[in-house]
Structure formats: C-alpha cells, structure tokens
A = this chain, B = another copy of it.
C-alpha cells in the first residue's frame, strides 16, 4: 500500500459502512444532530486459557485524540461516497447528506470523557464516554474502537510480562510478527504497559525511546560463509561497538562455541578498558543454558554482564524459566538470585499479538439520547443478561479500602453524590440478591475516574508523555490487591452498580418487555 492510500484509509474512512448508512438515515430523519451518549467499555479481561488476566491497562487515548484531530470529510472522501451505488444503481449517499458531511461534520464536535492512559481498568466500566451529535458519535465509533481495543490489549499483556519478569528489563521485539502497521501502535502500548524498550526503530522514535538491538544470526553466518568463524564475527562486532557489545551466542552451539567465543572477546575488551554488555540466548532450554552460560561467565570474571533471553517468550514461559533457575542453578554452582537479577527478556510474537487472546472485546454502545433537553436512557435487550447494557448518563468511581487498595469500581447515575453516600451500597451488576455494604470506616477514599478530554471541539486535557503514563500504570497496579494481580486464577475485582442505576436498569428492561408483548 502506498503512503497516499494509507492516509486515505486511516482518516475518517477508518469506519464501517453501516456507520455511514445509519448517519444518512439520521440526517434524513432530522436526528443527526440530536445529542446522544455512547459508552466505550470492554466485557471481559484477556483470557489466555489457563491464565486469565485479573485487570487491564488502559492505552490508546492520545492516538485517539490525534485521529479525531485529523479525520474529516475532504474532497477525496466525499467523492468516494458519491461514487457508491445502491443495488439499483442510484447514488447511495445523496448530495444533501454529502454536503452536511463536508461542511458541518466535525470529529471533535463532541464531549469526550476518558480514563487516562496507564490506568488499570476493569470489565463493563466505561473507559471512554462520547457525548455529541448522534451522527458524529456513530461515525467515529469504529475508529475509536480500532484505536483503543488493541492498545489496551497490548498494554495489559506487557504488564503481565513485566510482572512475571520480576521487574527485569523487558524489550519488545515483535515488529516482524505483528499485524502490519499495527506494530507501530502496539509498540507504544507495550512501552506503556511494561516493556522498557523496543527493537522497532520507527515506533521508538515516535514514542521518544531509544530503540534496542545488536545483531542477528545472519552476521555470524556471513563470517562463516566467508571462511571466518563465530569468533571473528564477535571480534568485529566488539571492534565497531566496544561499549555496546552484546553478542548472540547460539548460531553454532551456545555452550561449546558461542559463550567461550564471547568470553574471549570480552577479555580483549576488558584489557582495552571497555565494559562488555552481555550475551543473548535465542534457542534451546533457556533456563538450563542461562545457568551454564552464567557459570562460564562467572568463572571468566564476568559476573555482571547481562544475559538476554529471547525465543517465544511469554509470561508463563518467563515464569517457568525463573522457577527452573531457582531449582537448578545451585547444582551448577550458580547463585539463582544473582542469575535472575542479571537476566533481560526480548519478547516478540506473544507480546505484540497478545498470543492466546488476540483481541479485546471492547464495545461502544448508545446509552442515552436527548429529547426536549432531557437525557433518555436507552438499552439493548439482549437474550444474555450479562451483555445487557448499563443505560443512561453515568459516572464512574473507584473505591479504596482502609488499606489504600482499590476494592471496587462503582458505576452510578450522573447526579448521585457517591462520595458522601453513607453507607455505600455496591450492587452486583446482574444478580438480584448480591450486594456489599461499605461503612465509612472501611473506605479510605473514593476517586472519580473519568476526566474531560475534549469539550466543544477543543482538547481540554494535557496529554501526558509515556514516562508519566508509566508512572500512572505503576501506581494503579500497586493499588491492586495482590490476588487480583496474580498471573493465574486471579481474584475477581468487583465492578458494581449504584442502587439508583440498578433500579433504572430493571425499570427499562421491564418497560421494553412490556412494549414488546403489548405491541
């Protein structure tokens, strides 16, 4: 795809066709500028089979704001819509509607309330709330979901990987296995969620982080092909990068060839006053090989050089490696804790694709529409009660218990004074007779979660940079109960409804059913 085509496809036409056909219908009915409210939320945490996540890490807001800023109906877009035909050959989108799109449509003619990036988020809690003209809210739906679903998924996976790495350095290596240009957005999300650096040069540039990487097997093969060997390849690398010398040691045989050759080169570096950086292992039993490599490095007087591990890593594989080192290292005369503290991890495919659960089920639903200046709550009456919407104009709160840990997210109606409600009642979202009652003494504080980002067409939020977003992430993860953070079988974090919202939901469902069976 050419750059020109890409820019055209990623503008306002980054949408589903039905958004445009619906928008034209609203225009025809005079409803296109009727104020409407849409909630974006996701239904369930990423589920990697045996290890479902207990939370997610929000990402995608800044790229979303950039997209809204640039997406509009210009001459190219209008001409394309004009060219579309109905099944009888008529123009599908009529001139009056096209003229409205061209002259009056503004992607930012909305109020956007959002959770900041880096915040821990939970299922069914609104993360982005869009309030604005019905047709605008509808047309931007797909681009919003496309931007935030994937980035939240990857930030979450990165947080899990960082956790299983016990805080050691994690590098994102997935560019070659990502969904094409999705890699650029995924890299940013990985940096937000837990990756320290990435190998992706262009995405690192945009994110403001130095890209990382040294050499591949091919470099050693070149030297072998030209009649030299691994040692010559390593020596050449050390000559060019004497202060950044990290060598990939598994092209021939890690223990018999790679590590001994690396040590020879490191010894020369040391003699000339340079500090070797480390080695990388990219195949075989990484736990076992890292122990044997550590032993050789220790014996040669390099107890501190980093050992980078890569090759099909994910949070469980890293967990297994750490566990195996703890059990096995001492038998080889290696201190397991010191070894674990000198490891770094390069994680590719599993991180950038969220392997095991490759999509977050984020949705964007109409929850209210204005009539005669009043908000009318709306909902879809689905067969599945768990999927039934929380209707209406709402607020979202996080309740911290007396330990200072987040104990529940609470969704209320917009006019409820939750911070002064005593005692606080938390209703289960779907089960009639499940509720918690929290006395004031059990509550440290209650935090309002959604903040205004766009108002009246203007960005009113100072978008933080990635280091600041990472701090937000760490504060929020630290505020989770350890049971919720656990990699496997986490505790269920409570997402609750206020009594008033619960009552509204019941009433709407009853009315809808009545309409149905009386109509």
Name A residues whose Cβ lies closer than 8 Å to a Cβ of B.
1-3, 5-11, 13-22, 24-26, 28-29, 31, 36, 38, 63, 66-67, 69-70, 80, 84-88, 90, 92, 134, 138, 141-142, 145-147, 149-151, 173, 175-186, 188, 199-206, 210-222, 224-227, 229, 231, 236-237, 239-241, 243-244, 250-253, 256-257, 277, 283-284, 349, 352-355, 358-362, 365-366, 368-369, 371, 376-384, 387, 512, 515-517, 519
> Given A213-B17, A251-B381, A380-B251, A225–B368 Cβ distance below 8 Å?
yes
Q: How many copies does the complex hold?
A: 2
The answer to whether residues A185 and B180 also contact, given A16-B201, A218-B366 and a CB cut-off of 8 A, is yes
Q: Name the residue on B nearest A29 (C-beta).
A: B236
In the complex the two chains form, is A6's CB within 8 Å of B218's CB? no
Question: By the criterion CB–CB under 8 Å, are B369 and A226 in contact?
Answer: yes
Inter-chain contact B177/A180, CB cutoff 8 Å: no
Chain B nearest Cβ from A201, distance in angstroms: 4
Bound form: Cα–Cα A14–B31 in Å: 44
Q: Which 9 A-B pairs have the closest CB atoms?
A: A179-B182, A182-B182, A9-B202, A17-B213, A18-B213, A13-B202, A179-B179, A358-B358, A145-B176
In contact, A201 and B86 (Cβ under 8 angstroms): no
Bound-state Cα–Cα, A204 to B236, Å: 49
CA distance A353 to B380 in the complex (A): 27
CB distance from A247 to the nearest CB of B (A): 12
Task: Pick from B186, B376, B380: contact of A217, CB below 8 A.
Answer: B380
Contact at A10–B369, with CB atoms within 8 Å?
no
Whether B369 contacts A201 by the Cβ 8 Å rule is no
A251 to B515, CA, bound (A): 13
Contact B377 A176 (CB under 8 A): no
* B7–A219 CB distance below 8 A: no
Known contacts A29-B236, A236-B25, A10 near B202 by CB under 8 Å: yes
Residue of B9, B17, B200 near A212 (CB, 8 A) is B17
Among A10, A80, A84, the one with the most B-chain Cβ atoms within 10 Å of its Cβ is A10
* Distance in angstroms between the alpha carbons of A498 and B308 in the assembled complex: 38
Contact residue among B240, B253, B383 (Cβ-Cβ distance under 8 Å from A253): B383
Q: Mind listing 18 A-B residue pairs with CB under 8 Å?
A: A1-B67, A2-B70, A9-B200, A16-B201, A22-B216, A24-B240, A29-B236, A31-B222, A38-B218, A84-B211, A138-B218, A142-B175, A146-B183, A177-B361, A179-B180, A180-B185, A181-B185, A250-B382
Docked CA distance A465–B151 (Å): 32
Q: Are B14 and A202 in contact (CB under 8 A)?
A: yes
Q: Is the CB of B17 within 8 A of A201?
A: yes
How many angstroms from the CA of A240 to the CA of B26 in the assembled complex?
10
From B14, B200, B217, B368, give the contact of A16 (CB < 8 A): B200
Given A87-B244, A256-B516, CB of A214 within 8 Å of CB of B18: yes
Q: What separation, in Å, do the CA atoms of A206 and B486 have in the docked complex?
A: 44
Please measure, in the bound complex, the distance between the C-alpha atom of A251 and the C-alpha atom of B176, giving whole angstroms.
41
Nearest chain-B residue to A20 (Cβ)? B201
CB-nearest residue of chain B to A237: B25
Bound Cα distance from A1 to B69, whole angstroms:
10
In the complex, A229→B188 CA distance in Å? 44
Asked if B366 contacts A18 (CB within 8 A), the reply is no
Besides A86-B241, A142-B175, 15 new A-B residue pairs in contact (Cβ under 8 A), listed by A number = A13-B202, A16-B201, A16-B213, A17-B201, A18-B214, A22-B219, A31-B222, A63-B180, A86-B244, A134-B222, A145-B177, A180-B181, A182-B182, A225-B366, A355-B358
